Amino acid sequence: MTVTQEPSALNFECETGNYHTFCPISCVAWLYQKIEDSFFLVIGTKTCGYFLQNAMGVMIFAEPRYAMAELEEGDISAQLNDYEELKRLCLQIKRDRNPSVIVWIGTCTTEIIKMDLEGLAPKLEAEIGIPIVTARANGLDYAFTQGEDTVLAAMAARCPESPQKDKITGEVSENRNAIQKLLNFGKKKEEIAQEEAEYADHPPLVLFGSLPDPVVSQLTLELKKQGIKVAGWLPAKRYTELPVIEEGYYVSGINPFLSRTATTLMRRRKCKLIGAPFPIGPDGTRAWIEKLCSVLGIEPKGLAEREAQIWASLEDYLQLIRGKSVFFMGDNLLEISLARFLIRCGMTVQEIGIPYMDKRYQAAELDFLERTCQEMGAPLPVIMEKPDNYNQIQRIQAVKPDLVITGMAHANPLEARGINTKWSVEFTFAQIHGFTNARDILELVTRPLRRNNSLKDLGWSQLVKEEAKV
C-alpha cells in the first residue's frame, strides 16, 4: 500500500509554454478612463489598431482619449522622419484635445525597428509644451496587465519631489491630493483640522495601482479608520495631481502585477516598499491593513470584527462553492490572490497557472497563501509558471475540476467538454479590492455554477436529451 503525503511547502514548476494572454497595449482601455486629462498615443502597425478597435469596442458610448499612430512601410524602412511625424500628430492632439499629458505606448514593432521613443520625447515635449511619457507596453511582456505596470513605472519618474513645485510644469500647487480634496469637499476649516488630528503621526504613504474611483475612496476611508493618511495615489485621477514622492516615503502596491513600478519607486525614488498581501477579499484586505499598521507603528482596531461581518454577509455565496474545486489556467497575474481568497472560502485549488511569478514582489501573498491552506486544512496547490496549455488541458480532464478560471481563448472549448469556466479577464475589470467588493468576486465565481443549477431546475438537460433523440 502506497501512502502519499501532501506537500509541506508550495511547489513551483515551470513548463515554458507560450503566453496565452492579451497584448499589454490593452492597458489603454482602463488607464485613459482613470487619468482623465491624459491622451494615449499607441505607436504600432495596423494589427495593433485592429486589436485596440476590438478590445475597446465595448466602450463605443464613451468618448475615447486614445489614438493609433500607424507605422507604414516608409516608417519601418526609416525613409520617413520619426520626429516630424510624431510632432505632427502631437500638435493635432494638442489642438483637438489639449491634454495635460500625452502617453506614447510603444509596441513590438517599435522594439524591433529600435525606434528611439525615449530620445524623441524630451525634445518634442519642450517644443510643444506638453509632458510626454514614454511606456513600452508591448507584447514582449508576460501578461496584458503588465502594460499598466510599464505606464505607472514611467509616471513614477514624473511625480514631483516637492509639494511646492512640479518639476515638469514648474507650477506651484497647494494641494495635489485629489482624493483628499474630494473627502474635504463642503467642510469647514475647523472640521478639516479636527479630522487631521484623528490621523496618527506616521511617515507619508503613497499607494500605487489603477483602481476605479469608488474603490480608491473605499480603501482610503478604511485606512482613515486606522488613523492612516494616504499621501497620494499613483496614478491620480488627473496627471496634474500626481502625488509628491520624496526619498524615504513608504509605498505599497494594490495589484500583484506592478513589480516594475515597485522597483522604480525603490531604486529611482528611494522609497520604502511595504510588502503586504494584496487587498483582495476580506482576508487579504485585513492582512493588507494590518501590515501597513505594523510598519507605520499603529495598533489596528476592529479589523477582526469587520472581516467577520463581511464573511457573514457572503454566506449565501459560500454555500454554493464550499467543498468545490477550481483550476487556474493563468492569464492576468491575479491568480495567487484569487486562489488564496477562494481557499479561504472553502474551495480546493488544484493548480495555479500564472504567466510570470515574481517571488520577491509577491512574497507576502505567497506566505499568506501557504498559511491559509494550513488554517483551512486544504492541500497546497502547485504553482505552474508559464504553463503549457496543452498539458494543462490534459490535467484538467484528469482531475475534473468544478470550475476553471481561464483566458477567453480556452473557455468555449472547455465548455464544449462539459467543464464550467469563467473568463479571468472579468476579474481584471471588476471591482474586487477591499472589504465590500468581496461579494463582486463571488458573484463572478459562482455565476457558472448558479447557471447550471437554474438549468437543472428548469429540466433543461432533459429537454436537450429529448431533442437529441429526435
Q: For residue 225, what pLDDT is reported?
A: 93
Q: What is the DSSP string of 272-333?
A: EE-----SBHHHHHHHHHHHHHHHHT----SHHHHHHHHHHHTHHHHHHHTT-EEEE---SS
CATH code assigned to 24-141: 3.40.50.1980
Nearest to 10, CA basis, from 257, 354, 258, 281: 354
Over residues 432-440, the mean pLDDT reads 96
Residue 415 sits at the vertex; the CA angle it makes with 413 and 417, to the nearest 5 degrees, is: 75
Read off the pLDDT of residues 362-412 as tens digits, 9 standing for 90 and up: 999 999 999 999 999 999 999 999 999 899 999 999 999 999 999 988 999
Q: For residue 195, what pLDDT is reported?
A: 62
Read off the pLDDT of residues 200-256 as tens digits, 9 standing for 90 and up: 889 999 999 999 999 999 999 999 999 999 999 999 999 999 999 999 999 999 999
This prediction has a pTM of: 0.88
Calpha distance 362→259 (Å, rounded):
9
Residue 450 sits at the vertex; the CA angle it makes with 449 and 455, to the nearest 5 degrees, is: 100
What's 182-296's CATH class? Answer: alpha beta
State residue 231 phi and psi, 5-degree precision: -75, -20
Q: For residue 186, what pLDDT is reported?
A: 60
pLDDT, greater one: 195 or 106: 106
Looking at the structure, give the CATH architecture of the domain made up of residues 303-457.
Answer: 3-Layer(aba) Sandwich (3.40)
What residues does CATH 3.40.50.1980 cover in the chain?
Answer: 24-141, 182-296, 303-457
